[in-house]
Structure 1
């Protein structure tokens, strides 16, 4: 493994497992929604959903030490969180490669709860369904309805180019994704240990 520098941002699951056994100052932040966290999370991790982290970056950064690992489902949201924390002076944060599923597959200690589809899977299902629905409606109802497939494709292209996901944000607000209470800024910050001097 390459030496630790501020330019190395990915951390493999085995290294995280080793760090969890050796470093008491390690903080693992899971930036997924509360429902995703409830489904599967790394034992000992703290749930601070990305929108909450984005709104309260400076307050959270005050509680973080030098050894921070950010996790999500695949690494996309964790990388966004890493960039946000970097603007608040936490330049040493790492992103777990493979996300929580990769850590579980590597034999890491995880907690399994009520099963929910993760947000990324919901986005793929919604986008695919809308594209197929638009193509079928365009064939059987009106050719103009094929524009729905084009609009979804345009949205996905924009999502990839900007590393954002409007559909994911909309789906996160759906009732089935609210089965677990999202942490408040106060509860998220209070749960973190105070940074050691």
Structure 2
């Protein structure tokens, strides 16, 4: 299993400022889906759930859900090294994270041996590959929005579907299925977000 390190960052909310002070190191146990990773902390052996921040992949029985999971699994290749930034916890106690793959390589002049680091944002890469949506309800980062527009235009991943349904709309449809409100919810979404 690949070892990853959680780095604390400042987590701000409008009501109060809270600092995430806990440094965590963990080993990936499993990739649950295109958003979720289960890790075991090295120090406590406690199992924790990590959720990709700003990236929302198809759920459960949605089209492309299995491919999104496989994409995340491939991006978390056991041969690579990762750093993780934690943004605090969601309402279910899962840790919201951005995962960065990093590679060390030589750089600088011949006389100065220097090691440089290249980072690849896995959350952003999921969106670039069309394996997930940029979270429209989260913070709006231009690079995430641009990655989604480029994936959509190039018809990569889930964008090969004629009208992919985002997970948050899919969940509403499931909840309202018994009430026969599915058509209304889908029509309202498509009206506000034309493809």
Task: Determine which structure has the larger strand proportion and give its number.
Answer: 2
Larger relative contact order (Cα-Cα within 8 Å, sequence gap ≥ 6) = 1
Query: What TM-score does the superposition give when structure 1 sets the normalisation length?
Result: 0.26
Task: Determine which structure has the larger helix proportion and give its number.
Answer: 1
Query: What TM-score does the superposition give when structure 2 sets the normalisation length?
Result: 0.26
